[in-house]
Structure 1
């Protein structure tokens, strides 16, 4: 029996080496190359981790069997091992299960959201947009939707639920509709992507969200504290939560960064003339591009979904600026107020617009365009 335990310990040593390369590759300058890296563990990486855990279970059960059960060991240590081994095996099986449970989240912060991203973030066209391929041979008019994660459809399981696609289906005989939404984009980035897009627009639809001023605010010296992911963790807890699926899932079910901190940042940014004027200069780049193409332009203002009236007050200077420059501004405060709060967003951990909200945006926008 001793030889069997020793052989299992020998195999556990090699499994430990595999563990280091699978779960701590960055510590050894090891990079896995696959589509989506480092956004998520792809299917093969997760399968390798499952194989590791199963082999690990086999070895510890083998040691338990020969070291405790077959040898009929007694005493405190044997009792502790008898209690601990089933608990460890249960936690490992839960870890394996949570490797395959998707859940959308703000950004792609959690491991569950990475799984969601890999499963649902399709199609991706040749330019990297969450959209169909470009049809440069079409003679239809072109409508370009530009914006951040709300425009891109973050949290929606299919692009058919996205407001740009709904508008496209209703105006399909007249327009080619393209979505240039990118998570985390701000106004400066949107202007750049519009200019680089190979199709010239007849209509531009800008989706605007109050955090579009964030990057400019940071550049001008405003600070936003307490919003970095995992900032409230240190030491072994940080490693455990960042690298393993079960503790990561549990961690992200709990509240972390305070929304009030971000709200104060946004309020300050829109009332600081230095920040606001720099932001409006970035917006002028989009207007200049519109003028160069002769396109008609609409701007859809999506407020903070649980503080619609308040955040609409913050962004009013941008609305007024766009209206003065011939942009048709579409606001949604009344429509959002008619939706129950839980139905406004895609999930409790993801504050992006729900399918119901996207349908309402599309209905109002289609009506205005027509």
Structure 2
């Protein structure tokens, strides 16, 4: 008796339909997960998602490899609950004329803290510093403070920006704003498929990172930061070299310079990183550059009152007010020839 055979074409057709059904199901699941990430997890205040949007919408790869990335000129958006606008030369700043028109020009080099992540433009350290200096000044002298901060910059990138672009704005004073993660290696942008477009990918990657730190033995934030400063770490070596280059350039060109160290805002009274502050101060001393540690300006306050959100320890307006007042006092003490009329400097809001 002959057995009935199924035509090969029919088998292939069924296999193809099964593959298509599986692909459709996976795509549908993916869309559902993406929809959940955009509607449930995205409340406009999630640090990882907002930083991802900022990088996607406001940054581009720089033509200068040493700079890494830069802001897109004239771009704008809404991140971490506040509007952000970039001017025609890629700065979160009002337009900067080529000549300061008689004002003393102060340039702030820095990362997301200097940029003012999570605060309005008028609440950034640069704008508050300008307000303090001009509010305390007497006579005709005025002060202009330029914010060149870019998120995810390190000291190497900040100095590279200054030596290739920033110097053309002819600042009288440069303030290098240093944060503990400025010893990280220079980040390079790599396109990672879904990571360029998918909020679900960002949420998942963030969750995996947190779980690995809690349960899988990955270094916590304190161990991570301390590890950046171990002997031979290339990021720290490069950061020191960058600070030395900046100091040498400023000496040779008659530009005043100050190094400012920003504290990590989780623990202030029993500060866990005094050795890092000391290392930056040592470089400043070796180069003859005035140094300011900002931690004393805020250590009397509860750390959480200084954060932009309960989950994001970037400085808020309260912190930036204290920082601006302290920087203004240091400028006045270090360079009285430029800041003689601001001897009675007071902190904004007090």
TM-score, length of structure 2 as denominator length: 0.64
Is this contact kept in 2: 1:210–1:314, CA < 8 A? yes
Give secondary structure in 2 for the equivalent of 1:271. coil
Structure 1: 5+ residue stretches without partners? 1-15, 25-52, 54-87, 220-238
Q: 1:110 to 1:203 in 2, by over 3 A?
A: closer
Q: 1:256 to 1:323 in 2, by over 3 A?
A: farther
Distance between the aligned counterparts of 1:170 and 1:164, measured in 2?
A: 10
Aligned to 2:151: 183
Give secondary structure in 2 for the equivalent of 1:306. coil
Quick check: 1:202 aligned with 2:172?
Answer: yes
Q: CA deviation at 1:208?
A: 0.4
Is this contact kept in 2: 1:106–1:352, CA < 8 A? no
Q: 1:261 to 1:191 in 2, by over 3 A?
A: same
Aligned to 1:170: 132
Aligned to 2:261: 301
Quick check: 1:328 aligned with 2:296?
Answer: no
Q: 1:280 to 1:116 in 2, by over 3 A?
A: same
Aligned to 2:276: 314
Aligned to 2:16: none
Is this contact kept in 1: 2:42–2:49, CA < 8 A? no
Query: Map of 1:82-121 to 2, 5 A cutoff?
Result: 101-103=43-45, 105=47, 108-109=50-51, 116-117=78-79, 120-121=82-83
Aligned to 1:143: 106
Distance between the aligned counterparts of 2:285 and 2:85, measured in 1?
A: 34
Structure 2: 5+ residue stretches without partners? 1-22, 57-76, 135-140, 189-193, 333-350
Q: CA deviation at 1:214?
A: 1.2
Is this contact kept in 2: 1:106–1:351, CA < 8 A? no
Is this contact kept in 2: 1:151–1:164, CA < 8 A? yes
Distance between the aligned counterparts of 1:162 and 1:295, measured in 2?
A: 23
Q: CA deviation at 1:301?
A: 0.7
Aligned to 1:152: 115
Structure 1 residues 74-98: Cα deviation after superposition (integer angstroms, max 9, x where no partner): xxxxxxxxxxxxxx9xx97x87755
Is this contact kept in 1: 2:294–2:323, CA < 8 A? yes
Is this contact kept in 1: 2:107–2:171, CA < 8 A? yes
Is this contact kept in 2: 1:142–1:177, CA < 8 A? yes
Q: CA deviation at 1:265?
A: 3.5
Is this contact kept in 2: 1:300–1:330, CA < 8 A? yes
Larger relative helix fraction = 1
Residue-pair matches, total:
268
Quick check: 1:272 aligned with 2:240?
Answer: no
Give secondary structure in 1 for the equivalent of 2:272. helix
Distance between the aligned counterparts of 2:284 and 2:133, measured in 1?
A: 24
Q: CA deviation at 1:210?
A: 0.8
Distance between the aligned counterparts of 1:190 and 1:327, measured in 2?
A: 17
Is this contact kept in 1: 2:244–2:287, CA < 8 A? no
Aligned to 1:230: none
Larger relative strand fraction = 2
Is this contact kept in 2: 1:104–1:113, CA < 8 A? no
Aligned to 2:184: 214
Is this contact kept in 1: 2:266–2:304, CA < 8 A? no
Q: 1:107 to 1:272 in 2, by over 3 A?
A: farther
Q: 1:340 to 1:325 in 2, by over 3 A?
A: same
